[in-house]
A and B are shown apart, each in its own frame.
Chain A
């Protein structure tokens, strides 16, 4: 917390973003080389170059396959999930004026899981599109439930979190219920994936929709960055600053529900990334959303790329679901945020 900060300088922030992008690219290239099959960073560039039409990589088909079809999509999805969950966290924290808001804590991810599991188990369809649609409907249901319930019990940050806990429990139970009542052994195993969050077995067909939705939602949020700033002192204050409160809130909350749903249908419910990373990004560039949004996206992407690398290599050959890792890190961070918000309210 820099007390003397008057304005986070424009040049400094741009430099930070360039560094972030470089760091993200290097992280992706480097973490791909970590794993059972020996691969050098140079091989990664060569394979990417080949797929961009820059000539043959000179690698065997198996090695090329490991890089292009196994490790690269997984790592890119990790980056996209980290970026997207961080983005959802920033937007929800601003609109709900709640430093603890995040798609996981508020039960939105659980709702998305339930929707996706229902689609899989009940056999409504199995394509990426129907899966995402099911997840989207589930996430919208739990969002509406949390907002209505939270409003009924008083809308304070703490009550909102309790409403989220209730929603999370409800939808986790629904997911388990659907699986127990209708799924076979194979499907039962996959439910753990939805509940814990995992990036294992990712292909490009899961990456593209997530990346597309992320970029669209990021563009919308950047467009609305001044409006997000205006919510700092509440809804009436935002209205007095010229923001159409209901329209902005509804459209942005639907956008975050959509992004959450797309990420969940590809990677399951990964917890705490959206809660913790916005706070880290705020320490870097301050609370203004024009700088905060891209910074959170970059920090989130880099963070999850590394966390997933740790998750898949720590107990090699056994893989830990990435959601387990993020919770192990996220819960202590959650406690710190809670403690700090108690302090600011007292002063």
Chain B
């Protein structure tokens, strides 16, 4: 049930960007996708949202292949937040969040009371209720990301896909934003760069390298000095002194001792 990817691949120009990755987040779980740049995190998210069709394997929603669910129905189930969204149009926060109602709107019809309710409640749960009338162009980066999350929530999704939502944010806004995502009553899959933030906020992690899944599991199982060396080519020390005994990663200068198959750059 829910959103599931089974051995999905995606290739372009004969090059495999995502190579046989499987993922099945449990209801309400927060799953972090880790991996260096170009490891296929963003592409995997696009396959999960059905925006890109898979080259091989299956993405399914409640056991129905996502391409057969129909774009509109998918958009009522899955909300997507991109790395950085911008527009040249002068819009208020309320209007941007209202875009989340597009998949629910009937042709010809205007906004219904239900639309209004969904937008208000999305604004409430992202702490934006008092900013509804603000203009998009006057918002800070952190506020914009929160507005995009509110827009995704207005779609009333059960799954939320976020592509590096904390990019370009200062540390306080990163913590606030991820805290918000974790609290939401939806299943979330998010691509992240920061290993410590991933350890702190995610229930499970999936690590990708060159399109392949390297390891999956709880942050404690996944984040080890060996993995950091193998995937990122960086020397690190991992201790279990994060919040709730979660792992905490400290990077060290110099080359990793055992580098496995990672090439020297």
Q: How far is the CB of B233 from chain A (nearest CB, A)?
A: 31
Contact bitstring B63-101, A, C-beta under 8 A = 1, else 0: 000000001111110111010011111111011101110
**A240 pairs with B92, CB closer than 8 A:** no
- Chain A residues 211 to 268 lying within 8 A of chain B, measured CB to CB, are 222-223, 226-227, 229-230, 232-234, 236-237, 239-244
**B90 pairs with A287, CB closer than 8 A:** yes
Please, which residue of chain B has its CB at the minimum distance from the CB of A238? B102
**B90 pairs with A157, CB closer than 8 A:** no
Given A240-B51, A242-B75, the answer on whether A230 and B99 have CB atoms closer than 8 Å is yes
**How many angstroms from the CA of A97 to the CA of B110 in the assembled complex?**
23
Q: How far is the CB of A236 from chain B (nearest CB, A)?
A: 6
Contact of A237 among B73, B76, B82, B94 (CB under 8 A): B82
**A3 pairs with B135, CB closer than 8 A:** yes
Interface flag for B179 (CB, 8 Å): no
Q: How far is the CB of A257 from chain B (nearest CB, A)?
A: 23
Q: Can you show 19 pairs from A to B with CB atoms below 8 A apart?
A: A1-B90, A3-B133, A5-B133, A10-B110, A97-B87, A157-B88, A223-B107, A232-B96, A233-B86, A236-B82, A240-B75, A241-B102, A242-B72, A242-B73, A242-B74, A282-B89, A286-B91, A286-B95, A347-B137
**A1 pairs with B135, CB closer than 8 A:** yes
Given A223-B107, A242-B76, A287-B91, the answer on whether A347 and B102 have CB atoms closer than 8 Å is no
**How many angstroms from the CA of A1 to the CA of B95 in the assembled complex?**
14
Contact of B133 among A6, A157, A229, A237 (CB under 8 A): A6
**How many angstroms from the CA of A282 to the CA of B89 in the assembled complex?**
9
Q: How far is the CB of A209 from chain B (nearest CB, A)?
A: 25
**How many angstroms from the CA of A288 to the CA of B137 in the assembled complex?**
17
Q: Which residues of B contact A237 (CB under 8 A)?
A: 80, 82, 85
Q: Which residues of B contact A6 (CB under 8 A)?
A: 92, 94, 132-133
Given A226-B105, A242-B76, the answer on whether A232 and B91 have CB atoms closer than 8 Å is yes
Q: How far is the CB of B155 from chain A (nearest CB, A)?
A: 7
**How many angstroms from the CA of A236 to the CA of B81 in the assembled complex?**
10
Contact of A239 among B71, B76, B137 (CB under 8 A): B71
Q: How far is the CB of B112 from chain A (nearest CB, A)?
A: 11
Q: Which residues of A contact B49 (CB under 8 A)?
A: 240
**B51 pairs with A229, CB closer than 8 A:** no
Interface centre among A240, A288, A341 (most CB of B within 10 A): A240
**A282 pairs with B90, CB closer than 8 A:** yes
Interface flag for A318 (CB, 8 Å): no
Please, which residue of chain B has its CB at the minimum distance from the CB of A219? B108
Q: How far is the CB of B132 from chain A (nearest CB, A)?
A: 5
Interface flag for B134 (CB, 8 Å): yes
The chain A residues found within 8 Å of chain B, CB to CB, are 1, 3-7, 10, 97-99, 157, 222-223, 226-227, 229-230, 232-234, 236-237, 239-244, 282, 286-288, 290, 341, 344-345, 347
**A241 pairs with B135, CB closer than 8 A:** no
Q: Which residues of B contact A290 (CB under 8 A)?
A: 110
Given A10-B110, A223-B107, the answer on whether A241 and B75 have CB atoms closer than 8 Å is yes
Given A7-B94, A288-B95, the answer on whether A341 and B102 have CB atoms closer than 8 Å is no
4 shortest interchain CB distances as A-B pairs: A242-B75, A242-B103, A240-B80, A242-B72
Contact of B108 among A223, A243, A287, A344 (CB under 8 A): A223
Please, which residue of chain A has its CB at the minimum distance from the CB of B85? A233
**How many angstroms from the CA of A203 to the CA of B14 in the assembled complex?**
59
Q: How far is the CB of B164 from chain A (nearest CB, A)?
A: 14
**B102 pairs with A227, CB closer than 8 A:** yes
| Known contacts A233-B86, A236-B46, A287-B90, then 11 further A-B pairs from the complex at CB < 8 Å, ordered by chain A residue | A3-B133, A3-B135, A97-B87, A226-B102, A229-B99, A230-B99, A234-B85, A241-B103, A241-B155, A242-B76, A286-B95
Contact of B88 among A4, A223, A230, A341 (CB under 8 A): A341
Interface centre among A98, A222, A230 (most CB of B within 10 A): A230
Q: How far is the CB of B61 from chain A (nearest CB, A)?
A: 13
Interface flag for B138 (CB, 8 Å): yes
Given A10-B110, A229-B99, A347-B137, the answer on whether A242 and B71 have CB atoms closer than 8 Å is yes
Q: Which residues of B contact A98 (CB under 8 A)?
A: 88
Q: Which residues of A contact B86 (CB under 8 A)?
A: 233
Please, which residue of chain A has its CB at the minimum distance from the CB of B81? A240
Q: Which residues of B contact A97 (CB under 8 A)?
A: 87-88
- Chain B residues 113 to 139 lying within 8 A of chain A, measured CB to CB, are 116, 132-135, 137-138
Q: How far is the CB of B36 from chain A (nearest CB, A)?
A: 22
**B71 pairs with A344, CB closer than 8 A:** no
**B102 pairs with A230, CB closer than 8 A:** yes
